[in-house]
Structure 1
Amino acid sequence: MSASNQKNLVPSSGASVKRPPVVVVMGHIDHGKSTLLDYIRKSNVVAKEAGGITQHVGAYQAEYQSTDGKAHKITFLDTPGHAAFTGIRERGAQAADVAILVVSAEDGVKPQTIEAFKQIQRSKIPFIVAITKIDKPNANIDKAKTSLGENEIYVEGWGGDVPCVPISAATGENIPELLDMIMLVSELADLKADDGLSASGIVIESSLDTRKGVSATLLIKNGRLETGNFVVAGSSFAPVRFIEDFAGKKIESASASMPVRIIGWNEIPPAGEAFATVTNKKSAEKMAEEARSAQKEEKRKDVQNVAQATKAADKLKPEEKEAPTVVSLPIMIKADVIGSLEGVKFELSKIAHDKVRLDVVSEGIGDINENDIKLAESDPRIMIVGFNVEADKKAAAMIERAPAPLQVRTFKIIYELVQHVQDALLAKVPKEYVEEVTGRAKILALFAKDKDRQVVGGKVETGILESGNDVRIMRREAEIGRGKIRELQSKKVRVSEVAQGFEFGMMVEAKIEIAVGDRIESVRTVEKS
């Protein structure tokens, strides 16, 4: 941030105050993250998630009374456990002060558990292990702890110092103890904020609403946000006309550790981007322009690097160059929020085929609109997939009126979207064909020749010879020509096929003159499996 913009920040009062902890809940898919938060917040968030799987970062502030009778506030971030949403989990860990790593007492450590643990380590934040689902018949707390130890996560009493609380989000067992542990860990971290500073923090998520425009969920890490200010995140900025808390209630101001929503951005702010607050529009525009210039410079460097890599590739010998892709499937991706878009792209990047490739021609957040359909109409190969979005009224009418069917599908579950695209991709794989030898025979006699047709005699050594088959004419193991079986006889009777071990007479149409001792291979063309 430039010196000229520094003076436009809201001044500090110099007052350092205690702030609530920001807690990220992480772990493998379906290990009880959302159920835990659901119990704490006493709301039904789980039912709102398609398939019961969290697909966004949920940011919520809860208030509870500790066992000593004191009231505390805790901000929770719920991150998806599905493999597709690595980026969202990464942002959640970066924004938090404390992490809760949930591990099912039934399943133990799973792939996303390990990934979440590594993200926590990279973020260098303290964490607590919550062993969930202890009310289930197959729950085994000791087995879960053993599984943790096998993956170098050592909890208290099992060779380490990581706090561990076995819980049941279904019954509420040990939830108060978990909340007390969160407060104990955060007390040791001595979390403070300057309430007199302008608000700063991180963009948790952003989305586009056709009626309200661009909105973003912000997590305030320091300072106070008030109406009348301007928030800036990268090249995006917005006037703070009103502030919505996590429940959608309008408030006049917000302090550190609070998740808020701001509407009216000039463009979609990237999730994970740091934000700052300034006093006027001019300062906001200047900061955004500086960020935009920096982004352009980064892109210029990227283009330069790609050009250099391409130049180096051109110098490779033909055999060192990668074989060109045969077919591409152009695709347009629309999603409700940035995190969803990242997740979809991440999953789709894993289904590439060596003969076909996905070509993302357009991507964005918000409902499928008129411009999207126009692009699809310009090229019937384009497939539009939407995640947690629908086609707006104009787009839906255009789809209905389209002279040829358009490839437009929307999904609520990410793996259903991925399966749909994968099926479409595989359908475009060019079919490959191979020759299959169905029979081999040795030529024992020559009877007649008339132009390109020869009558020969022989014996089938393997397989079957069939009338109408194409044949390869082999001499000393080398192919010398091709032909076609026009007629077959066995024991002077015309037949459609001759099996292994039987002698035959054959009329062959071929440009090559067959000799005694040659071999005939009967072949057919089949699709390569």
Structure 2
Amino acid sequence: MADQTEKPKLGTRPPLGLKRTVETGKVKQSFSHGRSNTVVVEVKKRRILGRPGEAPPAPAPEPVAEAPKPAAKPAAPAPQPRKPSATDEITRRRELQEKLLREAEDARMTSLEDARRREEQAKTSANEEERRRAEENRKAEEAAAEETARRAQEEALAVTAPPPEEAQPAVPQADATEERSFRRPGHAPAPKRPEPSRPTRGREDRRHAGKLTVSRALSGEDDSRARSLAALRRAREKEKRHHMETGPATKQVRDVVVPEAITVQELANRMAERGADLVKALFKMGMPVTLTQTIDQDTAELLVTEFGHNIKRVSESDIDIDSSADVDAAETLQARPPVVTIMGHVDHGKTSLLDAIRGANVVSGEAGGITQHIGAYQVSLPDKSKVTFLDTPGHEAFSEMRARGANVTDIVILVVAADDGLRPQTIEAINHTKAAGAPMIVAINKIDKPDAKPQKVREELLQHEVIVEDMGGDVQDVEVSATKKTNLDKLLEAIELQAEILEIKANPDRPAEATVIEAKLDKGRGPLATVLVQRGTLRVGDVFVAGASSGKVRAMIDDHGRQVKEAGPSMPVEVLGLSVVPSAGDPFTVVENEARAREVAAYRQSVLDRKRTTSAPVSLENMFANHASTTMEFPLVVKADVQGSVEAIVHALNRLSTDEIKVRVLHSGVGAITESDVTLASASSAPIIGFNVRPNAKAREVAARTRVELRYYDVIYHLTDWAKGAMAGELGPEIIETVVGRARVQEVFPAGKRDKAAGLLVLEGVIRKGLNARLTREDVIVSKTTISSLRRFKDDVAEVTSGLECGVLLADTNDIKPGDSLEVFEVEERARTL
């Protein structure tokens, strides 16, 4: 490049020298991006020939290399300049071409780098206007850079053109951006070459094929680049307009299942329509509703017809799951373990017998030595077969649970103590077994005791139509001893024999159906349910409905506390994953999806709500009768650890109600006593009963502040005894009146200024001083008083017997007339019992 410090003006000439044929000047050219260049302008006047044999003047140095200009040699007169050789000409032209291409490429790469830098700055800018301006500037700069590179390439191609035939003098080289004149004096300028096609080095040179440069993006070299978001948006809008012009697609007609009541949103989902469109249609019908509002079946039919769909009416009962019609084919059935329920009176040894069979101590965990819950266990017999045992409580309050156990069982073992015989709960268990239609095996326990009388037990069973085999019947009986483990093998053989006769089978390859044996709320694991699978296989991940509760099986735990992945028929497991605590005895059914489970659970909950809130129609007569009723209420809040205990306690408390006082259970539930329970109890001044549960810290604090009574029990006997005493205390002591004597008023005398004395004739019994008296006139009570003074012939006496006359002074009354009757009685207070 030429020297940048010297900037002579255009047209100035250097001092003339000897043999100087060219006048030169310098001019500065400015380009984009702040780049400049100084070029030499040559002015040719005439050709000066040297002497013959003298070498031609040396060419001027290249301005880019900044080489010093050689000194001008004295021109020697020459007849003719020497023609350069062909090899020198080719080498010179090749060097000039490479130099021009190199400079053009440098200029191009510099412009691309600057453009890329500006593009990154534009991306980080939040202002849309600045980004737009930056994009315009970048495009302008790219266009200028492309133009500069194009010109340089054109000049390089022009330089590499073949020379004319005649001799041509050497011309000093100029900068790459200078326009040169290669014409001789007196000749016309050479015509311009046609513009060459743009080189496709982007496709030939694959060095940068992996990334998209700004130049390639702007110049359109890569036609397969991704479309911009704006282009995609325009294409979508165009397609949408096209669809709107051509009209909507053919509407799909659906069969819409509509129950008796459905929300607008659910109906819209079933119709595959927008909920807002349904709301708008209902507004036009004069029904302002919201998406969550429930409409009846007739209104839903209008909407379905309005939108062109077909309605399929179903009743609410169709929503519930009816498994009675779902019968498994005979070829799918396989043998399953029998379900054996142990029943009998309290303390006759049911749990101890099961304990001896299982080889584990179960009864030690029960309060008071009695079973409070249903226990489900699966026992492996010596021949590798399995038997499922259900241990039901024997106390009378658990009759509901025993009835539930009898409904899911295959075989019933009736445990009777040989030294005690049949008791009330034993008879009740016999009735439950007959109602369930299950075969029975009588286990006569405690035969090791000295006063055991097994034959007497067999005879007592005859009174209830239970005839054992020894007495000509078909009921098996086994004499066992749970403590000595006597004849347990015979009992198991009797169970196996009975199971073979019954041919107990089930289909394990289907969705599971089970029965909730017990349910509770665990503090750490949430609602739990002990279920007994009846058919199918229950697996982890199954969606189910249990009564009014729904959920998904998160985990299953067997009777040994181990987690299992699946449970087949007759296997008891504890299921985690319920939404709420179900009731014991509820059906447990696996369904296809969670939506179906929620639908069935919601329907069952609505049925329960209607049963609880709907009361009998009230007539005018019984309305006043209820209002005039003097029956007191004893409010209670009951909380227990499991659902079966809650039901048993509520049932036992309701049986304590009498005509004078009745139990009103404000709330009963499973789990610990909470603050809301205390708040509810304080509003009605009701005590809270906790059965195997305790209150949390907040509940204790609120109970102490509101003075709510908390009662804790773990044996149901103690709970019912306390309830009886508390209800009797609410009524107060019982008042008993005993009539001592009767008399008739014969005469009335003044006694002092205000009082009056009555002369009496004692008709029966004894009139005694200080007793309560009731004065009646024509069988209407005038006043209740006491005898404050009793005289006979001016003498004070303690009592007057029948047939005698006396004078009495009655306290707090002067309304006495001849002919009135006086009844004297004693009052006795006794402690009330229910």
| Pairwise TM-score range, normalised by the shorter structure | 0.7 to 0.9
1:307 maps to 616
Does structure 1 residue 351 correspond to structure 2 residue 645? no
CA distance in 1, matches of 2:463, 2:576: 46
**Higher RCO (C-alpha under 8 Å, 6+ residues apart):** 1
Residues 238, 262 of structure 1: 8 Å contact kept = no
Change (3 A) 1:159 1:404: same
CA apart distance, 1:338: 1.2
1:215 maps to 528
Structure 1: unaligned runs, 5 residues or longer: none
CA distance in 1, matches of 2:746, 2:656: 54
1:247 maps to 560
CA apart distance, 1:527: 4.6
Change (3 A) 1:63 1:496: same
Change (3 A) 1:491 1:134: same
CA distance in 2, matches of 1:524, 1:108: 48
Residues 320, 604 of structure 2: 8 Å contact kept = no
CA distance in 2, matches of 1:331, 1:261: 31
Name the SS of the counterpart of 1:403 in structure 2: helix
CA apart distance, 1:392: 2.3
CA apart distance, 1:450: 6.2
Moved more, 225-234 or 159-168: 225-234
CA distance in 1, matches of 2:385, 2:767: 84
CA distance in 2, matches of 1:346, 1:372: 20
1:107-155 Cα deviation digits (max 9, x unpaired): 2222222221222222222221111111111111111111111221011
CA apart distance, 1:100: 0.9
Change (3 A) 1:355 1:512: same
Residues 108, 148 of structure 1: 8 Å contact kept = no
CA apart distance, 1:207: 0.3
CA apart distance, 1:486: 5.0
| TM-score computed with the length of structure 1 as normaliser | 0.86
Does structure 1 residue 45 correspond to structure 2 residue 45? no
Change (3 A) 1:179 1:459: same
Residues 56, 340 of structure 1: 8 Å contact kept = yes
Which structure has the highest strand share of the two? 1
Name the SS of the counterpart of 2:496 in structure 1: helix
Residues 355, 430 of structure 1: 8 Å contact kept = no
Counterpart of 2:335, as a letter, is K
2:643 maps to 338
Does structure 1 residue 56 correspond to structure 2 residue 357? no
Name the SS of the counterpart of 1:428 in structure 2: helix
Does structure 1 residue 292 correspond to structure 2 residue 602? yes
CA distance in 1, matches of 2:363, 2:654: 28
CA distance in 2, matches of 1:4, 1:397: 45
Counterpart of 1:391, as a letter, is P
1:29-85 Cα deviation digits (max 9, x unpaired): 1121101100011111111111111111100011121xxxx2221110001111111
Count of residue pairs brought into register by the alignment = 508
Structure 2: unaligned runs, 5 residues or longer: 1-317
1:451-497 Cα deviation digits (max 9, x unpaired): 75334555656323316x5544567988777776454444534x362
CA distance in 1, matches of 2:517, 2:469: 32
Counterpart of 2:446, as a letter, is K
1:397-425 Cα deviation digits (max 9, x unpaired): 333xx235321101111121111111111
1:427 maps to 729
Change (3 A) 1:231 1:472: closer
Does structure 1 residue 463 correspond to structure 2 residue 766? yes
Does structure 1 residue 197 correspond to structure 2 residue 515? no
Residues 401, 644 of structure 2: 8 Å contact kept = yes
CA distance in 1, matches of 2:533, 2:816: 88
Change (3 A) 1:161 1:491: same
Which structure has the highest helix share of the two? 2
Change (3 A) 1:496 1:300: same
Residues 105, 134 of structure 1: 8 Å contact kept = yes
2:347 aligned residue (15, 19, 30)? 30
1:120 aligned residue (424, 433, 438)? 433
1:21 maps to 338
Residues 520, 642 of structure 2: 8 Å contact kept = yes
CA distance in 2, matches of 1:506, 1:15: 97
CA distance in 2, matches of 1:138, 1:18: 42
CA distance in 2, matches of 1:260, 1:143: 39
CA distance in 1, matches of 2:629, 2:422: 41
CA distance in 2, matches of 1:254, 1:73: 14
Counterpart of 2:755, as a letter, is R
Output aligned runs, 1:264-283, within 5 Å: 264-278=577-591, 283=593
2:633 maps to 328
Name the SS of the counterpart of 2:471 in structure 1: coil
2:106 maps to none
Residues 545, 600 of structure 2: 8 Å contact kept = no
2:203 maps to none
Counterpart of 2:600, as a letter, is E
2:715 aligned residue (413, 419, 433)? 413
CA distance in 2, matches of 1:235, 1:506: 73
Counterpart of 2:351, as a letter, is S
1:204-227 Cα deviation digits (max 9, x unpaired): 111001221100001111222222
| TM-score computed with the length of structure 2 as normaliser | 0.56
Does structure 1 residue 238 correspond to structure 2 residue 551? yes
Change (3 A) 1:372 1:507: closer
Name the SS of the counterpart of 2:356 in structure 1: helix
Change (3 A) 1:54 1:492: same
CA distance in 1, matches of 2:777, 2:578: 78
Residues 469, 477 of structure 2: 8 Å contact kept = yes
Change (3 A) 1:128 1:334: same
CA distance in 2, matches of 1:227, 1:513: 88
Change (3 A) 1:47 1:194: same
Residues 747, 817 of structure 2: 8 Å contact kept = no
2:801 aligned residue (492, 500, 518)? 500
Output aligned runs, 1:441-480, within 5 Å: 441=743, 448=750, 452-455=754-757, 457=759, 462-466=765-769, 471-473=773-775
Residues 38, 46 of structure 1: 8 Å contact kept = yes
CA distance in 1, matches of 2:736, 2:357: 62
CA apart distance, 1:249: 0.9
CA apart distance, 1:291: 4.0
CA distance in 2, matches of 1:201, 1:482: 68
CA distance in 2, matches of 1:162, 1:294: 40
Name the SS of the counterpart of 2:668 in structure 1: strand
CA distance in 1, matches of 2:628, 2:414: 44
- Provide the identity percentage: 36
1:86 maps to 399
Residues 388, 411 of structure 1: 8 Å contact kept = yes
2:668 aligned residue (349, 363, 372)? 363
Residues 91, 272 of structure 1: 8 Å contact kept = yes
2:462 maps to 149
Change (3 A) 1:153 1:404: same
1:396 maps to 700
Counterpart of 1:271, as a letter, is A
Residues 205, 217 of structure 1: 8 Å contact kept = yes
Counterpart of 1:398, as a letter, is V
Name the SS of the counterpart of 1:71 in structure 2: coil
Residues 490, 498 of structure 1: 8 Å contact kept = no
